[in-house]
Amino acid sequence: MATTLTPLPPGDHGLLAARPGPDLAAAGYAETELLAAGTATSYRADELPGDGRWALAERDRADFATRVVLRAPADPAAYSGTLLVEWLNVSSGIDAAPDWTYLAEEVLRRGHAWAGVSAQHIGVMGGVSAVGLGAPSAGLRGQERYAALHHPGDAYAYGIYSEVAGALVERLAADLGEVSCLLAVGESQSAYALTSHANGVQPLTGRFDGFLVHSRGGAAMPLGEPGEAVDIGVFRTHAPTRIREDLDVPVVMVQTETDLTGRLAYLPARQPDSERVRLWEVAGTAHADKFQIGDFEEYLSCPRPVNRGQQAYVLRAALRHLEAWARGGPAAPRAERLEVSDGRFVADDLGNACGGVRTPVVDAAVEVLSGDTEPGAPVICELFGSTVPLAAERVRERYADPAAYLAAYERATDAAIAAGFVLAEDRAAVLAEARTDLVAAALG
C-alpha cells in the first residue's frame, strides 16, 4: 500500500537538540509532525564488497508506522523546491537531528524544506544508548501520543526511509510545489546507514538526487534482520566500505578528525574523489562539538573543553555545493586530504593537523583544536574532541598585537570562502568567532 502521512496530535516531538534551533515562525516556516504508515522493503545480498558496488535484492516487505518532523516554508513563494530528508540519529537511544542543528541557517535562508525521519528501530521502539548515556530508552512508543507507531526492525529501515521520502515529495507537491531536488542527509550512525543506502538501495530505487554523508565510520550499516535493531557497537568494526563510484547522483562526504583515526576508523575506507564523489576532511574538527552541544557542555564533564572548530560552516558550504551539483550545476570542489603518517595526524608547529579543509581557527590559530581528548575519557568525550589554548608565549610569537591577529584571521576567512569551503553569507558569523580575547590576554 502507498505510504500515508497523517498529522499527529499537537505535543512535544522530543527531538534531542542541545542547541536551541532558529525561530521557525519568525523565519516564515511551519513545523508539522506526521505519522507515516505503509509497507517497507527489506533487502538481501550474497556479498557486500568493500568497493560499495552492492547488488541487493528484495527479501520481503513489512508494515510500519513511524514519525516524521517536517519543517517547510509557510508561503509557497518562499519555497526553493529542495527537500532535505535527514535520517534521524539514534546513538543516544532517542531520535536526534544533528545535521538540522548544523544546517538550519542554510536551510532557512535558501527556502528549503527539511524532514527528520525516525527510520531506525531504537528511535521508535526504544533501546540502549551507543554512547553510554543513561538507562535504555523507551523510544517514541513510550509516550501515549505515539502508541500507534510500530517498527518491524532495522532490516526495513532503508525501505522506510525511501517510502517516507516518496510520500513527503507528494505532500509537498500538493502543499507548496514540486520537489525538484531531493537530498539524503545524515550524521554518524545515520551516515553509516546512508553509506549502505547509497551503495545498495539507491541503484534500485533512484529515490534521491544526492547524498550528504556526514561523519561516517569505515564500515557500512548491515542490512539487518527482521524484528531486530542493528548494533553499532558490533558493525562499526566490520570491513571498510567505500561509497560506490558508479552512482548517477552526487555524494559529498564531510569527515572530521575523530572519524578518521578514532573509534569510527574511517581511514581504511578513505577513497579518492571521482566523477560523482567528493570527500572533505576538515582540520581541527571533532565528531561533535561546541556548536552542537551549546550550553550543555558542562553536563558532559569532559576532561578538556570540547572542540570549538568550525565544521558547521563547512557543512553549510557542502550542502550548497551538493544541491547545485544535484541540479546539474558544477561539481563540488575537491579538497586536500588531512596528512596522516603511521595512523596519526601530521601536526604543524602548534599542534593542529596539517592538510584537509582549512578554516580560520586553524590557519590563524590561538588554540589547538583536536578530534580527540585525554586517554581514558568517556566515549561521549572522545566524540566531542578538545580545545586547548596555546601558551601565551606561542601567541606572542605569532601576533604582534590584536590587529595583526585579526588581519590574519580575516585573510584565512576570505581564503576559505574563495576555496568554496565557507559561504560568503557566513563571513560575518565566522569573523565574529575570532578569538580576540585569547590574544589580548596573551599580549597582556
| Other beta carbons within 10 Å of 436 | 14
| Other beta carbons within 10 Å of 334 | 11
The conformation of residue 129, written as its DSSP 8-state character, comes to -
Asked if residues 212 and 322 have their Cβ atoms less than 8 Å apart, the reply is yes
- Residue 212 has phi, psi (to 5 degrees) of -110, 105
The pLDDT of residue 34 is 97
Q: Burial letters for 119-141: b for 16+ Cβ neighbours within 10 Å, e otherwise?
A: bbbbbbbbbebbbebeeebebbb
The gap from C-alpha 317 to its chain's centroid, in whole angstroms, comes to 13
| Rounded-to-integer distance, Cα 36 and Cα 7, Å | 9
**Parallel, antiparallel, or unpaired for β 344-345 and 340-341?**
antiparallel
Q: State in Å, rounded, how far the first CA of the chain is from the last one.
A: 70
The pLDDT of residue 11 is 84
Write the CA distances from 420 to 26, 198, 256, 304, 316, integer angstroms: 29, 25, 18, 31, 11
Taken as a whole, the chain contains a residue count of 444
> Please, which residues bridge with residue 184 across strands?
85, 211
| Other beta carbons within 10 Å of 80 | 17
- Give the largest CA-CA distance in the chain: 70
pTM of structure: 0.97
Number of H helices, E strands in the chain: 16, 13
Q: 191: helix, coil or strand?
A: helix
The pLDDT of residue 20 is 81
Q: Which residues contact 220 (CB under 8 A, 6 or more apart)?
A: 48, 52, 192, 195, 196, 199, 235, 238, 241
| Rounded-to-integer distance, Cα 191 and Cα 270, Å | 14
List the pLDDT tens digit at each of the 444 positions of the chain.
699 999 998 888 877 677 888 999 999 999 999 999 999 999 999 999 999 999 999 999 999 999 999 999 999 999 999 999 999 999 888 899 999 999 999 999 999 999 999 999 999 999 887 776 666 788 899 899 999 999 999 999 999 999 999 999 999 999 999 999 999 999 999 999 999 999 999 999 999 999 999 999 999 999 999 999 999 889 999 999 999 999 999 999 999 999 999 889 999 999 999 999 999 999 999 999 999 999 889 989 999 999 999 999 999 999 999 999 999 999 999 999 999 999 999 999 999 999 999 999 999 999 999 999 999 999 999 999 999 999 999 999 999 999 999 999 999 999 999 999 999 999 999 999 999 999 999 988
